[in-house]
Amino acid sequence: MANKIVLISDDENFYDYIKLKLELRKSDELFTCSFDEVPEKMDFLESSVLIINSENSRQKTLDMLKLFQGTPIIVTVYNDDDVFKKKCYRAGALDFITLLTSDSEFRVRIFPALSVSSILEKNRQYRKILVKNKIISKHNEVFVDCDNIIDNALDELKQSKREAVFAVISPDSRSKFLIKPNTLETMILANIRKNDILMNYEPDKYYLIMYDTNVESSEKLWKKISEKFQYKVYAGIVQISNKNRHRLITSALNKLHEEFNKNDKGIYDKTGLKNPDATSPYANFKLFRKEFAQKLEQIINPVFYTVRQKYLHKLTGVKIELDYGDGFATFYIIGKHSLGEFKMSCPGYTKILVDISLKQDSKNVDTKRITFEPDELEAGMLNDLLEQFVSEANTHIN
């Protein structure tokens, strides 16, 4: 593989000085670049060996070292300066040479830089393959192959016993239309650590694994991040324990929808019933039932039907059935010795109820309840919940 070496300087004489020190092979490539040209050549420079002339450009040199963290950079000076040398090494310089460095010593010291550059170039080639196969996104480090990434992370956490949290991040139904592409992920990436993992599972909806932290600290961090948005974005954060991927995602989705519900402006009593006072938009029971009937027709029934058609011939040994009635809709996954039930109902002065249960041999394996206001329920959110239900139910079938 050819080595790419870029000489960066605002002094033409520097190029001639360095060329004399280099013993280039025919396959090696040598380029020159001024400091002003750096911004437009960022992608090219990141996988090259950079040799910077810092004379009369020391602050620019330090800025470049911070900008190209991980790129092999050799800083050159005409006059040695221990203070500046230390600053360069702290900022990420791979090596530091002066006019007193002999040609032979320089050639030996450039080998590590060439080795790092070769690794970076291979990484860039692999990255193109991953982007092509839609494993990672094009412009950042967001993983989209969520299942494998989460499973691998859970395996590593079990072995290392590190503390970590898992989050599901999503805008509410009113805010999702206001978000510009990549805005949300860019903001999140700017506020998490490099070893944290952000995964894009739907447009502007994300899974996030944060290491060496707990729920309390993560919620404080998310509060600071969310305050930077002009629209409502919520996070359901749970501690990673001995849960498998399906249970982990379900727990986080439940927490997410609890966060959605906290934003509700209505007043509820201890039973979860909304006080039917004059300020409530659903004080009139008939209006509430009418609203739910509209959700059945416009959202619930179409989502139920779409998900059923998607899995009708993919899940073996089971039947997928739908049941509708006045004030309820149910999605069933029926196996020989198991039953999964996802029921949505509107019993009265309450939020819309989602009751999920999994049974094996008539014994409950798992049950949970999620609640919504009618204006909180939207197709994407319901599709997420139903997909998770199908995935979890499928692990208990037969």
Q: Could you tell me the CATH number of the domain that includes residue 175?
A: 3.30.70.270
Q: Indicate if 113 and 183 belong to the same structural domain.
A: no
Whether 53 and 76 have beta carbons less than 8 Å apart is answered as yes
Residues 298, 255 within the same domain: no
Q: How far is CA 129 from CA 46, 125, 126, 153, 166, in A?
A: 18, 7, 5, 22, 28
Tokens of 73: 């950079």
Strands 49-53 and 4-8 come out as parallel
Q: Is the pLDDT of residue 22 over 90?
A: no
* Domain harbouring 77, CATH code: 3.40.50.2300
Of 289-303, 321-335, 338-352, 373-387, give the range with the top mean pLDDT: 321-335
Instruction: Mark whether 112 and 224 lie in a shared domain.
Output: no
Q: Does 266 or 297 have the greater pLDDT score?
A: 297
- Tell me which residue range forms the domain holding 254: 146-262
Q: Is the pLDDT of residue 278 over 60?
A: no
Summary mean pLDDT of the chain: 80
For residue 380, how far is the Cα from the chain centroid? 18
| Contact predicate 18/1, CB 8 Å | no
Please give the torsion angle defined by the CA atoms of residues 296, 269, 219 and 160, in that order, rounded to the nearest 10 degrees. -80
Cα 176 to Cα 222, 294, 299, 363, 387: the distances in Å are 18, 21, 17, 40, 20
Mean pLDDT of 333-349: 83
Q: Same structural domain for residues 299 and 218?
A: no
Q: Specify whether 54 is located in the same domain as 92.
A: yes
Phi, psi of 127 (to 5 degrees): -60, -40
Q: Is 134 exposed, middle or buried (0-12, 13-18, 19+ CB in 10 A)?
A: exposed
The residue that leads in pLDDT, 347 or 141, is 347
Of 249 and 352, more confident:
249
Q: How many angstroms separate the CA atoms of 173 and 171, rounded?
A: 7
Compute the distance between CA of residue 156 and CA of residue 140 in angstroms, rounded to an integer.
Answer: 23
Q: What integer pLDDT is reported at residue 272 of this predicted model?
A: 34
195-223 pLDDT tens trace:
888 888 776 788 999 999 999 999 999 98
pLDDT for 211: 93
Res 168: pLDDT: 93
Whole-angstrom Cα distance, residue 165 to residue 143?
Answer: 17
In-domain check, residue 240: yes
Q: Is residue 276 part of a domain?
A: no
Q: Looking at the domain assignment, is residue 66 inside a domain? A: yes
Contacts of 203 (CB under 8 A, 6+ apart): none
For the chain, the maximum distance between any two Cα atoms, rounded to a whole number of angstroms, is 90
Choosing from 76, 101, 132, the residue where a domain stops is 132
Cα-based distances in Å from 347 to 33, 164, 254, 327, 354: 71, 39, 21, 7, 11
Mean pLDDT for the stretch of residues 349-362: 78
Residue 165 lies in a domain: yes
pTM: 0.42
Q: Is 5 or 180 the better-scoring residue by pLDDT?
A: 5
Higher pLDDT, residue 144 or 204:
204
pLDDT at residue 177, rounded to an integer: 54
Task: Compute how many other C-beta atoms are within 10 angstroms of the C-beta atom of residue 37.
Answer: 11
pLDDT of residue 204: 73
Lowest-confidence segment of 89-93, 178-182, 186-190, 384-388 by average pLDDT: 178-182
**pLDDT at 154 (0 to 100):** 92
pLDDT of residue 53 exceeding 80: yes
pLDDT at 135: 59
Q: Is 275 within the bounds of a domain? A: no
What pLDDT was estimated at residue 266? 38
Residues 103 and 163 both lie in one domain:
no
Question: Of 38, 25, 36, 26, which is closest to residue 110 (Cα–Cα)?
Answer: 25
Helix (H) or strand (E) run with residue 395 in it: helix 379-396
Mean pLDDT of 102-115: 85
Report CA-CA distances (Å) from 254 to 52, 105, 192, 385: 53, 62, 23, 9
Tell which of 262, 294, 318 closes a domain.
262
Let me know whether 163 and 186 are in one domain: yes
Indicate the range of 59-73, 219-233, 360-374 predicted with least confidence: 360-374
Average pLDDT for residues 369-381, to the nearest whole number? 76
Burial 173-207 (b: 16+ CB within 10 A, else e): bebbeebeeeebbeebeeebeeebbbbbbeebbbb
Indicate the SS3 state at residue 223. Answer: helix
User: 103 is written with which tokens?
Assistant: 């040609």
